[in-house]
Amino acid sequence: RKEVEQDPGPFNVPEGATVAFNCTYSNSASQSFFWYRQDCRKEPKLLMSVYSSGNEDGRFTAQLNRASQYISLLIRDSKLSDSATYLCVVLSGSARQLTFGSGTQLTVLP
Amino acid sequence: SAVISQKPSRDICQRGTSLTIQCQVDSQVTMMFWYRQQPGQSLTLIATANQGSEATYESGFVIDKFPISRPNLTFSTLTVSNMSPEDSSIYLCSVEDRGTGGEKLFFGSGTQLSVL
């Protein structure tokens, strides 16, 4: 089993749609969780950190479920500019190593 | 947030040659990280570069193939040595920022390497 698993997609959704991505992680002692966004041929950029209480930033909502070991990202009212690959990132271990999921590709269609 | 300048942004190299990638940060950072992202894959950590000591390499990566320098707290280089087509990838440097709001990882713009 991979340490961090994501549905690779692609997710093709119309503008204005709501879309959700899930990510599961295998290390129950993982400490921190993040969603990154990566545009084609560009570097990943931090979208948001994920907290146990859940957090929201505009149209984006991130949730953490430690019992089931998954995190989620919800995008409401999708925009064309949301088209990108979304990477789930988990921080684990005493060495505080970051593990990246393979990414979920989202395309928002006009 | 840290600003990272990485160069070159891309290069096309011949088999057997070496390429050195540079990464400059606008603030002093203890650790810098080098990642590789192969086509269609996610990021894989190559090594952690600490100032004043040898880099720490992850399983599957060795110093002879990927020598790293870290002469000061704002600069690092990664060399891809004796390249083969399998080394074609995006190489990214990154730094950790443990400021307010918790720790975050910031990336350079990446070096897209193609080996012929």
Complete DSSP assignment for A51-105: -TT-EEETTEEEEEETTTTEEEEEE-S--GGG-EEEEEEEEETTTTEEEE---EE
Residue B3 CA to residue A78 CA, distance in Å, equals: 29
pLDDT tens digit sequence for A16-53: 999 999 999 998 888 889 999 999 888 999 999 898 88
Q: Do B92 and A91 touch (CB under 8 A)?
A: no
Residue A77 CA to residue A59 CA, distance in Å, equals: 7
3-state secondary structure of B10: strand
Using the Cβ of A110 and the Cβ atoms of chain B, whether some distance falls under 8 Å is answered with: no
Using the Cβ of B103 and the Cβ atoms of chain A, whether some distance falls under 8 Å is answered with: yes
Residues of chain B with pLDDT under 50: none
Q: Do A89 and B105 touch (CB under 8 A)?
A: yes
Q: Is B85 exposed, middle or buried (0-12, 13-18, 19+ CB in 10 A)?
A: exposed
pLDDT computed for residue A95 by the predictor = 65
pLDDT tens digit sequence for B32-64: 999 999 988 889 999 999 888 889 999 999 999
What confidence category does residue A83 fall into, taking pLDDT thresholds of 50, 70 and 90?
very high
Residue B94 CA to residue B109 CA, distance in Å, equals: 9
| Contact residues, chain B, for A55 at CB < 8 Å | none
Query: Minimal Cα–Cα distance from A74 to chain B, Å?
Result: 20
Residue A1 CA to residue B72 CA, distance in Å, equals: 39
Using the Cβ of B13 and the Cβ atoms of chain A, whether some distance falls under 8 Å is answered with: no
Other CB atoms within 10 A of residue B72 CB: 11
